[in-house]
Amino acid sequence: MTVFRELINYRQMIVSLVKKDLRGRYKGSVLGFLWTFINPLLQLAVYSIVFSTIMRVVDTDKYYLFLFVALIPWIFFSSSVSGGAGSILANKDMVTKIYFPREVLPIAYVTSCFVNMLFCFIVIFAVLIISGTGINPVALLYLPVVMITEYVLALGITMITSSVTVFFRDLEHILGIVMMAWMYLTPIMYTPDMVPEQFRTLFELNPMCSIIVAYRDILYYKQTPDMTSVLCSAAIGIIMLAAGFIIFGRLKKRFAESL
């Protein structure tokens, strides 16, 4: 419990780390903050060319949009988990030299990825309107719930990866592979009903599956998402977060010596 009270006291540190990360990331580069959008847009371009003109997996109207509304949330998740794994290592100087609740670091990292995603959502909404797809305001009410669910899940996993990475540095690289596999096992470029029936249950155990489906329901199909499965993911997310805090709390005591 003391951890949470302390984290509240250190909220300003989280805020300023997030700001520092967002501003520091692109400061001094020619395109500046536009990089926030360029990176996902390039990914989007590549994937939509490959999957809508070459491989033509999904037969749907505006495949780029179908992909876009799922890709942005996925990028948030994967960059949180794989990038956040190194968040303690990257702040070695601070960890070995001053005290603050170490949980601040992964929280700040995931939050800054989250804010990045929110910026990208501006582009998503712009594209939705320009392309004529439009927005369903009622369905949109579910969006914050889905986002928070994803945030909790990402934070829980990042807490674990960031603390374990201190002791096993190659975990960062292993995570790169894991996240790639995870991406292809999540219905980002295809729809879940393309998965063979016999694997369907197994497939849906993936908490990211229902989250991505919900994003797509809200934004692309403009319908209210299936909240039961989202709440299942939320439950998994909360369990991960609890596990994250426990594991992190155990390991953090040895951070300074191991860095």
Partner 1 sequence: MIQNDIAISVRDVQKSFKLFYDRGYSLKEALLFSKRRRYERHQVLKGISFDVKRGEAVALIGHNGCGKSTMLKLLTRIMYPDSGTVTMNGRVSSLIELGAGFHPDMSGRENIYTNAAIFGLSRKEIDNRIQKIIDFSEIEEFIDNPVRTYSSGMYMRLAFSVAINVDADILLIDEILAVGDVTFQRKCFNRLKEIKAKGTTIVIVSHSLSMIEQICDRSIWIHEGVIKEEGRPKQVHMDYCDYMIQKQQDKDTSASAKAAGADKPTETPKPAEAPKPAETPKPQPDNKKRWGNHNAEITSVTVSDEKNEVRRVFRTGSDIVIHFDYTRSGQVPDAVFGIGIFNRDGVQCYGTNTRIDDIPAFSLKENASVRVLLKNVSLLPGEYLVDIAIESGDGIPVDYYREACSFEMASSVNDVGISRIEHQWTI
Q: Which stretch binds partner 1 (CB under 8 A): 9-17, 55-63, 115-123, 189-197?
A: 9-17
How would you classify residue 32: left for phi > 0, otherwise alpha for psi between -120 and 50, otherwise beta?
left
CA angle 181, 251, 113 (to 5 degrees): 45
When the beta carbons of 87 and 210 are compared against partner 1, the nearer one is: 87
Report how many residues bind partner 1 under the rule CB under 8 A: 35
When the beta carbons of 80 and 91 are compared against partner 1, the nearer one is: 91
Regarding 115 and contact with partner 1 (CB under 8 A), the answer is no
Residue carrying structure tokens 């997310």: 237
Regarding 98 and contact with partner 1 (CB under 8 A), the answer is yes
DSSP string, 122-133: HHHHHHHHHTT-
- Applying CB under 8 A, which of residues 169, 200, 205, 250 lies at the interface with partner 1? 169
Burial of 185: CB neighbours in 10 Å, binned 0-12, 13-18, 19+: middle
Residue 4: both structure tokens together:
């949470």
Regarding 256 and contact with partner 1 (CB under 8 A), the answer is yes
> What amino acid occupies position 188?
I
Distance of CA 87 to the CA centre of its chain: 15
- Applying CB under 8 A, which of residues 2, 54, 59, 93 lies at the interface with partner 1? 93
Q: Cβ 254 to partner 1, closest distance in Å?
A: 8
Interface characters, 27-46, with partner 1 (x: CB under 8 A): xx------------------
- Applying CB under 8 A, which of residues 168, 181, 197, 198 lies at the interface with partner 1? 168
Regarding 97 and contact with partner 1 (CB under 8 A), the answer is yes
Regarding 95 and contact with partner 1 (CB under 8 A), the answer is yes
Compute, in degrees rounded to 10, the torsion defined by CA atoms 21, 24, 25, 29.
170
Distance of CA 154 to the CA centre of its chain: 6
Q: Which residues bind partner 1 (CB under 8 A)?
A: 6, 9-13, 15-17, 19-20, 23-24, 27-28, 91, 93-100, 167-171, 174, 253-254, 256-258
